[in-house]
Amino acid sequence: MSEKALNSLLDYLKDTLSFRDKRWVASQLLEDVEKKEAEELVPYTKEQIYAMIDEAERQSENGQYISGEEFKERLRRELIGTEYEILERQAV
């Protein structure tokens, strides 16, 4: 479904549903999303974890790493970008 269609549906629901019905719809949607996310989450096997550690060690030995400060800066920029995306969605 396109974003425009979703926004139209959302506007329709906001205008027609009572507060109580909105809360019910929201809880049902959230429950469905959480169920789907839980089904998609699959824990790593020990072998996968060991392989990731081996790869990280190999990259480190080859100088392919970033400093803790660079990591924090990249994380900060990513989180700021995420905040802007959330604010833009709320503004629509």
pLDDT digits (tens, 9 = 90+) for 64-76: 988 999 998 888 8
Sheet strands (E) in the chain: none
- Position 92 scores a pLDDT of 59
**What are the domain boundaries of the chain?**
1-42, 45-92
Contact call for residues 22 and 14 (beta carbons, < 8 A): yes
Contact call for residues 17 and 25 (beta carbons, < 8 A): yes
- Position 23 scores a pLDDT of 94
pTM of the model: 0.42
**Which residue blocks in the chain are alpha helix, DSSP H?**
3-16, 19-40, 46-61, 68-91
Please give the Cα distance from 76 to 73 (Å, whole number). Answer: 5
Is the pLDDT assigned to residue 24 strictly greater than 90? yes
Mean pLDDT of 2-12: 89
pLDDT digits (tens, 9 = 90+) for 43-62: 899 999 999 999 999 999 99
